[in-house]
Amino acid sequence: MSARRALILGAMVRTIGAYPSGWRHPDAHDDPAQDAEILREIARIGEDAGLDYLFFGDWLATGPDLEFANPYLLARIDPVSAVTYLAGVTSRIGLIATVNTTYADAYTFARSSASADVLSGGRVGVNFVTGAEPRAAGNHGRDLHADNATRYDRAEEFVNAVRRLWESWAPDAWIADKIGGRLIDPAGLHAADHDGEHIRVTGPLNTARPPQGQLPIVHAGTSERSRALAARHADLALIGAPTAELAAAARVELRAAAVAAGRDADDIRIIAPVLPVVAETSAQAQAIVDDLLALVPLDEGGGVPDAFPENRSLASLATAFALDLDPTIGVDAIVTAEHTDALPDAAAALVHRVQRLTGRSIGGAHALTWRPVLALWAVPAAFVVGTGAEVADHLAQWYESEAIDGFNVLSAYQPGQFRAFAELVVPELRRRGLLSDRADPAVTLRERLGLADPVPAHTPQPA
């Protein structure tokens, strides 16, 4: 292995599964009211495997439409509550919580995140987002969700204010001199004094200084403003890229933007999502994908709920690809060679991908039907399917080609697929020397990620 730092490996936690039909799998967790139990199990699996962190996203609204598109968003634990809860039942793994800067209060979030860092011994990171759900506005007393420019103006102020508040206490301000009778050095207690258009906060923060000083910052987004925010502040930048080549281009761009913002290129780590489906054999992994696609609810002509997506019928598939396909044949009709010979390129590529992911074939014993074709088109997912070694090959190729610095692992259903990844893929990555030994319980998240000491957010002034 080269001198390049080790592969960063985290898990993006969605308790009822990252694939929309995952909760229907016989071995899947399916009840958010019982999330405490599954969160403990996920944390144990991740910590035992030596993963760097667990990542908790957020969404500030719900509705019946989410049942079919993104059921994991319907009901979920507040991210700061989740990481604070898990801080008490873990000792090594990092814990990253999301905050929506459009609606959160800077002082309250600085206090809760600093508190979680104290309680965890320095293992908490924060993911700043501006939000994409318009229904969140009504849940926070607003008529409209702010436009992109306004949201990012506020986000910049929010991040700056929170970073200043984290630095309210100098490292040596708490002296606890029992003999001299002095508890603090007042000169080490600093005001935040952020007075902006969107955020006003005085400080100081009435929480002890976070062990990390500055909590690691995460940000994701594709807009120009989002990339700029990541370049200035993010330690981890989350990207979505369908190929290693596109990921590599994004990595080059973000590292250059960090340099332009006055940082070192190595100050920012580029992290991509991955959705592995892992089993002892390739055929077993393909069978899991086949099951997941079979469990996607489709419009089979018998009536659907009001919020049901419009793209889940054979008729919609035929229209999208200009197929000469009789929708009355039913989704379980076999795809024949006559069908595939007449497919346009895009549809042929879809059929080929379904065959590769599921092990089904045209004219074979395990015949391809229209059901998995329609399901994967209607509910697309970038599955990486195979044995532990095969999935490790994929991750290693992206990492060794410098397309990314690490991965956020999504599990189609919990806890089975997360456990399979931890038991089959992680040891293979470690055997190849791609993962460092991260068993020291005293290591902070900043240290686990190989981050440099934080640059102060401001020159503090006495309170």
Q: What pLDDT digit, counting tens, does each position of 403-457 carry? A: 999 999 999 999 999 999 999 999 999 999 999 775 556 589 999 999 988 877 7
Return the structure tokens found at 359. 């092990």
Are 130 and 136 a contacting pair, CB within 8 Å?
A: no
Task: Give the domain range for residue 209.
Answer: 8-279+383-448
Q: Please state the φ and ψ torsions of residue 231, each to the nearest 5 degrees.
A: -60, -35
Residue 142 forms part of a structural domain: yes
Residue 49 forms part of a structural domain: yes
The most distant pair of C-alpha atoms in the chain lies apart, rounded to whole Å, by 91
Q: Does 302 share its domain with 155?
A: no
When divided into structural domains, the chain yields a total of 2
**Has residue 129 got a pLDDT over 80?**
yes
Residue 84 forms part of a structural domain: yes
Residue 458 forms part of a structural domain: no
Q: Which comes out higher in pLDDT, residue 167 or 306?
A: 167
Residue 461 forms part of a structural domain: no
Q: Does 256 share its domain with 344?
A: no
Listed as own residue / partner, the contacts of 297-301 with beta carbons closer than 8 Å and 24 or more positions apart are 297/21, 297/68, 298/331, 298/371, 298/374, 298/375, 298/378, 300/330, 300/331, 301/330
Closest CA to 405 of 368, 449, 340: 449
Q: Does 435 share its domain with 371?
A: no
Q: Does 262 share its domain with 343?
A: no
Q: How far apart are CA 312 and CA 314, in angstroms?
A: 7
Residue 20 forms part of a structural domain: yes
**Has residue 98 got a pLDDT over 90?**
yes
Q: Of 356, 378, 400, at which residue does a domain stop?
A: 378
Q: Of 378, 395, 411, at which residue does a domain stop?
A: 378
Strand 8-12 and strand 269-278: the pairing is unpaired
Residue 361 β-bridge partners? 367
Q: What is the mean pLDDT of the chain?
A: 94
Write the CB contacts of 445 (distance below 8 Å, at least 6 apart in sequence).
52, 53, 94, 95, 96, 122, 123, 124, 125, 212, 215, 216
For the chain, the residue count is 463
**Has residue 132 got a pLDDT over 90?**
no
Write the CB contacts of 222 (distance below 8 Å, at least 6 apart in sequence).
240
List Cα–Cα distances, 263 to 128, 259, 445, in angstroms. 19, 5, 20
**Has residue 325 got a pLDDT over 90?**
no
Q: Does 366 share its domain with 387?
A: no
Q: Does 203 share its domain with 176?
A: yes
What's 54's domain CATH number?
A: 3.20.20.30
The reported pLDDT for the residue numbered 42 is: 98
The reported pLDDT for the residue numbered 438 is: 56
Residue 368 forms part of a structural domain: yes
The reported pLDDT for the residue numbered 202 is: 96
Residue 344 forms part of a structural domain: yes
Q: Does 234 share its domain with 310?
A: no
The reported pLDDT for the residue numbered 442 is: 59
Q: How far apart are CA 14 and CA 19, in angstroms?
A: 9
Q: Does 371 share its domain with 390?
A: no
**Has residue 196 got a pLDDT over 60?**
yes
Q: Does 176 share its domain with 241?
A: yes
Task: Judge if pTM exceeds 0.85.
Answer: yes
Helix (H) or strand (E) holding 95: strand 94-100
Q: Does 100 share its domain with 29?
A: yes
Q: Does 74 share its domain with 191?
A: yes
Beta strands in 107-259 (DSSP E): 124-129, 174-177, 182-184, 194-195, 200-201, 217-220, 236-238
Q: Of 378, 396, 423, at which residue does a domain stop?
A: 378
Q: Does 193 share its domain with 339?
A: no
